[in-house]
Amino acid sequence: MKTKILTLLILPLLVWVNLSIWNYLNYPLKMQSWDKVMKGITYSPMRRDFDPGNSSPPTQVQIEDDLKLLAGKVHAVRTYSALEGLEFVPELAEKYDLNVTMGAWIDADLDKNRREIDSLIELSNQNSPTIVRLLVGNEVLLRKDIAPDQLIAYIREVKARTWRPVSTSETWDMWLAHPELAEEVDFIALHILPYWEGLSIDAAVDYVFYRFNAMREAFPNKPIIITEVGWPSDGQPFKNATASLANQAQFLRQFLNRATEQKITYYIIEAFDQPWKVELEGSAGAYWGIFNADRELKFPMKGDVTPMPDWQAWATGAAVLSIFLMALFLFSRHRRLKLPGKIFFGIVANLAASVILWSAAVAAQQYQTGVSLVFWTLLLLMQAMAVVILLTESMEIAEVLWHRKGKRTFKPLQPPAGFTFPKVSVHLPIHNEPPEMVRETLEALARVDYPNLEVLVLDNNTKDPAVWEPVQKDCERLGGVFKFFHLENWPGFKAGAINFGLEQTASDADIIAVIDSDYIISPDWLKSMVPYFEDEKVGFVQSPQDYRDRGLSTFKSMCYWEYAGFFNIGMVQRNEYNAIIQHGTMTMIRKSALLEVGRWGEWCICEDSELGLRLYEAGYDSVYCKDSFGQGLMPDTFSGYMTQRFRWVYGAMQIIKHHWRQFLPGKQSTLTTAQRYYFIAGWLPWFSDALALLLTIASLIMTTLLVADPLRSELPVNALLLPTIGLFCFKIFRTLWLYKARVNCSTLQSLGAALSGLSLTHTVAKGTLQGLFTSGKPFMRTPKLEKQGPFIAGLATIWQELLLLTLLGLAIYSMSSIDHFDNLSGRLWVAVLSVQTVPYIATFLTLLFSIAPNYYPGSETQAIKGPQDKELL
């Protein structure tokens, strides 16, 4: 009761801390206020959905609404065109007491240029009192649309046909590069945009005035008007310039106050956001307005400025999501979790909820196109999947470290006096195995201390008589309980062979035991574990896989400890909830239960795990004793290691597709809630690797687009930080922490296990994706006593990993060499790419460890251990 009260007090406290972090990150920023009327602002009347290729120009009513909104806030507006509705601006501006700097758009379309020039002259000659100056073109020379001589000709024509001051609007460097242009104009119309020059916000305003004063010195006889100056509120960073609402507010307030003090004439760019400019200027081009595209003021000109004005709504959403996640994981099922575990999980749940809601908030504040909406949707779905993986792995940490002592801890049993030993039929399936290895297995079986036993050796489709006949002779030599069967052209792979064995099993046998052909079992295995079948609810009893060859090489030691994590952490915890994975060696099954659920599944290449699930579905319990009773051989080559893992993963995907209804909540499932959870949670890390592969491919595609077009490509750093850097770092942290708590190995051995596990990331990803979208993969045997190939053959085995590693390296180099990305976002993107290289580097390193004995024989440390060297995993 005390723990429940503390839980109900502390978890809400975590939510409050989470909200406090949101509040801190969005605490109103104090900055210089502006309480006067602006001199001028640039004006484009296009709405949010405007498309230059398909949309009609804004109506006169819409333009009037805009000017009415600007009235009282600015003295003047500047237009970029004299056509497409903007010819109404002078008349409407007079109505709202606004002056106008009227512009004509000039580009490479000479016919349209003529219409612009004629309209500009006509409007100027109407004696409108609102027009104060004229601009012939905007950044024409910067874009190189026409030659300087042609632009000068246009300027001369307008000057000749009107009495108003005439100029053209260019960036400061274009004016300095074309002093002949300054001779033709009545004033210098100047663009100073420190964002596009990659300056930090702290240096931006000083830079504007530095450039302005430099232009005064360069053109002392010309009036100078700043016709574009401003800062975007969102979009991609450009070098050291960061686009944000707070930075826009800081820039404008500082500039407006200084410009007023120095009596400078200026036009802020711009009145309203123009989402259509994304195609021209990149994402930042959409966010230069002091109003958004819906004509809402982005921030006040007086008082404090909140970085994310609607943060409270998003923070509330994060709080609700975190409460839901904590309730789902902590209160519905994990009632035996100690308070520190609940606090740990609560912290992770709150952080995960906030990260995904923060990313959603970033997306919601941006103007989305159809393509970008799909892009963000996919990224947020990937984030959601990353969150699910993060939460399940966090729960695993919490349960391992802070789980209340359970009732399902099984130890080897000592049969009582007078115990009736049920008959056990040991099935030993073999296929093309080295006969000398199988001989060791048979001799170990001959030493088993059990009074009621038979051993069926099932040779499945071995073609060469020189391989299977020695095994037959060994069985004949050992005699008694040993029976040998050679199957030619037998279907169903391993499952088919042991189903055949089931038909040959003695009718009085109650228990089927299965071991692999390389296992040397302990004499006391059956006596120690068979008594658990006294409980009629027990369907199968499982002991861990263990290995006797870890001392042969560094590679095998790494593999050994990687396997050990599953048997000492995952299986132990799953056993608490009667949800272990049955694996096809060191397992015993009640024969009646096996027949009841339909024998071994020959359609699945992981027939053992699939059978275990069917036994659970039929209502049977399991027993897992983590004591080691048998030791086999690990794959000798990295190729064999990869093939084995691919088979496990592909088979799991087959099981998911075949049994998916059992994992849905509701009455259609006969599994318990805990069993559904642990099977799904056990598969999620494999889906995580598949997600990592998809994200790597997406990152390479994105980097290609970024390098090809840095300005107009989106850099989705926020959305990818959690699924890449965050999830990767957390998984490494989780592995080392859990190994320290549950696996009896050194830190160096834990790191070796982590390296070998990472080296299989691509293999697992392929197995997951192929298993989901294909069917019918044949059974893939893991070779034993396989000869190690040369280095080149090893490289050929991992060619896909090496290709992705090379592409990622090129992507990192390309991003690092482009000045546009010399900023925090660019460096974070390089960090994302760098993290994505780690599994592929791990693959290459593990390959080197696996082939090292070929080139450095001294790396073989000791002989293979025999059964007398049995040790606990």
Which pLDDT does position 862 carry in this prediction? 43
Cβ-contact 565, 591 below 8 angstroms: no
Q: Tell me how far the alpha carbon of residue 119 is from its chain's centroid.
A: 54
> What's the whole-number average pLDDT of the chain?
91
Please give the pLDDT value at position 861. 47
pLDDT at 786: 66
Reported as type and span, the H/E element at residue 673 is helix 673-708
Q: What is the pTM of this model?
A: 0.87
Categorize the per-residue pLDDT at 168 as very low, low, confident or very high, splitting at 50, 70 and 90.
very high
- Tokens 């060994």 map to which residue? 474
pLDDT above 70 as % of the chain: 95
Q: Give the residue with greater pLDDT, 722 vs 672.
A: 672
Q: Residue 693 pLDDT more than 80? A: yes
Residue 628 has pLDDT above 50, yes or no: yes
**Which pLDDT score is estimated for 865?**
42
- In this prediction, residue 698 has a pLDDT band, given cuts at 50, 70 and 90, of confident
Give the confidence band of 826 by pLDDT, cuts at 50, 70, 90. Answer: confident
User: What is the C-alpha to C-alpha distance for residues 864 and 440, in angstroms, rounded to an integer?
Assistant: 12
- pLDDT greater at residue 406 or residue 488: 488
C-alpha 306/C-alpha 319 separation (Å) is 20
User: Bigger pLDDT: 384 or 100?
Assistant: 100
Please report, for residues 123, 232, 362, 489, the alpha-carbon distance to residue 244 in angstroms, rounded to integers and kept in the order given.
Answer: 38, 7, 11, 70
Cβ atoms of residues 551 and 633 within 8 Å: no
**Distance from the first to the final alpha carbon of the chain:** 37
Least confident of 256-270, 456-470, 620-634, 713-727: 713-727
> Taking the domains of the chain in order of start, what are their residue ranges?
2-24+309-402, 27-286, 412-519, 684-869
DSSP H stretches of helix in 219-294: 245-261, 278-281
User: Which tens digit of pLDDT belongs to each residue from 609-623?
Assistant: 999 999 999 999 999
Rounded average pLDDT over 260-286: 93
pLDDT(4) > 70: no
* pLDDT of res. 782: 67
**Amino acid symbol at 572:** V
The mean pLDDT value for 210-235 works out to 97
Q: Tell me what the mean pLDDT of segment 350-366 comes to.
A: 89
| Cα separations in angstroms, 191 against 147, 188, 276, 432, 861 | 20, 10, 21, 79, 73
CATH number of 27-286: 3.20.20.80
CATH number for the domain formed by residue range(s) 412-519? 3.90.550.10
pLDDT band at residue 871 using 50, 70 and 90 as cut-offs: very low
pLDDT digits (tens, 9 = 90+) for 785-823: 667 777 898 899 999 999 999 999 999 999 999 888 888
195-204: average pLDDT = 96
543-592, pLDDT tens digit by residue? 999 999 999 999 999 999 999 999 999 999 999 999 999 998 999 999 99
Spacing of C-alpha 174 from chain mean position: 44
Say what the pLDDT of residue 789 is: 72
Of the candidates 82, 88, 76, the one whose C-alpha atom is nearest the C-alpha of residue 104 is 82
Q: How confident is the model at residue 863 (pLDDT cuts 50, 70, 90)?
A: very low
Residue 279 pLDDT: 83
Cis amide prior to 183 (ω within 30 degrees): no
Long-range contacts of 475-479 (CB under 8 A, 24+ apart): 475/442, 478/442, 478/443, 478/446
Lowest mean pLDDT across 93-97, 129-133, 175-179, 714-718: 714-718
